Amino acid sequence: MGHSNTRCRLLGTTAAVVFLWPQIAAADYALNMTRGVTELSREFYDLHMLIFYICCAIAAVVFGVMFWSIFNHRKSRGAVAAQFHHSTRAELIWTIIPIIILVGMAVPATKALVKMESTGDADMTIKVTGHQWKWRYDYVEPGFGFFSALAADSNEARALRSGKDPGAVDNYLLNVDHPLVVPVGKKIRFLTTANDVVHAWWVPALGWKRDAIPGYINESWARVDEPGIYRGQCAELCGKDHGFMPVVLKAVPEDEYFAWVEEMVVAQADASAGADRDWTREELMAKGEQVYTAFCAACHQPNGLGIPPAFPALAGGAIATGPVDQHLDRVINGKPGTAMAAFGGQLNDVDLAAVVTYERNAFGNSAGDVLQPAAVKAARK
């Protein structure tokens, strides 16, 4: 049992180093925390430095007295040890002084913790949901949401035997297809949860990370003061693709943010309207490739060969070449007891129709099916 636990710890440590290596390398071997770009992150940094300096001062005093005592009371100088067993004064000194120091450290630390939990008076609310292995962001007030998954170039380069050089990919494993966009200077409340297993949403520049737990909502807040792109990752070992679900937060001026919101609302309306028309095979294949890359390639690989037996191949596979209604049912409802997730609640009718059409006509498959959104809508009932 002990050997097993040791192996698990070693594997966990190795996995963490591998998954976080791009971020470790990007840090240029910095030894300190980052000040970040939010009010909270700067306060946490200053608190960290205050405690660090207090610890350094305590170490200097304690070791200074210890070395001075060793030098001045050594046997070669004829020092004779005092004979006593109790000193009320000494006990008061080494009890009262540490209490004063601890209280002095606890006061600013408590203020920082209370401030971190103060999510009231927020200008906007964003719900962050962890999925295996991507994030979903729902903007509560505008009323739209989207998934954010590993960027296609990183996803291709990290695949087994892809032949692509990861070093040639910009922000390898730290880039996404759709970043989280927020306005500068606004207090944002984050509601963090998960759809399947425990994840952790972490952007170092914000100064905190939050666990994303199924059935539970954690609250956090941030006010980004500087425009820019800030990267992070899932900080919880959530499964085989833990290292491939990065976080990208893009902070923009307020007018640029509202223009982006308008574009997203229009795009969502267009997507809803698209479910009421028939799509051509070419349109479904193009759309399906995008959906497959974002939602399916993590397990079944960009080339459709999968990683059997856990992740079966779609190229020539029984599901992708069998009856189309069974294929659609598997994508919508998943398969209990396996790693196949249910995508009926994650994808709309157009996306489902497109990805099923793509899987049945890509990777050398030639089923010839063209599944329309209306058929997906009927299958949901």
List the CATH number of the domain containing 369.
1.10.760.10
% of the chain residues with pLDDT over 70: 92
Distance (Å, whole) CA 212 – CA 222: 17
227 and 318 fall within a common domain: no
pLDDT tens-digit readout, 177-212: 999 999 999 999 999 999 989 999 999 999 999 999
pLDDT tens-digit readout, 5-23: 333 333 343 344 334 444 4
Distance (Å, whole) CA 138 – CA 168: 33
337 and 306 fall within a common domain: yes
Q: Which of 229, 244, 270 is the last residue of a domain?
A: 270
269 close to 59: Cβ distance less than 8 angstroms: no
319 and 213 fall within a common domain: no
47 and 63 fall within a common domain: yes
162 and 112 fall within a common domain: no
- Residue 338 has a pLDDT of 80
Q: What is the mean pLDDT of residues 368-377?
A: 90
Q: What is the mean pLDDT of residues 300-322?
A: 88
Which pTM does this prediction carry?
0.78
**Within the chain, where are the H helices?**
2-26, 39-72, 88-116, 152-157, 254-274, 281-295, 297-300, 318-321, 324-333, 349-361, 373-380
Question: Considering only CA atoms, which of 16, 48, 216, 57 is closest in space to residue 128?
Answer: 216
Query: Which region holds residue 164: left if phi is over 0, alpha if psi is between -120 and 50, else beta?
Result: beta
Q: Which of 100, 116, 132 is the last residue of a domain?
A: 116
12 lies in some domain:
no
Residue 26 pLDDT greater than 70, yes or no: no
320 and 343 fall within a common domain: yes
Half-sphere exposure of residue 193: CA atoms within 13 angstroms, side-chain side: 9
Q: In total, how many domains does the chain have?
A: 3
Highest mean pLDDT among 159-168, 245-254, 319-328, 344-353: 245-254
Highest mean pLDDT among 26-35, 170-179, 294-303: 170-179
284 close to 274: Cβ distance less than 8 angstroms: no
β-pairing, 180-183 with 188-194?
Answer: unpaired
Q: Which of 250, 270, 290 is the last residue of a domain?
A: 270
Full residue range of the structural domain in which residue 178 is found: 124-270
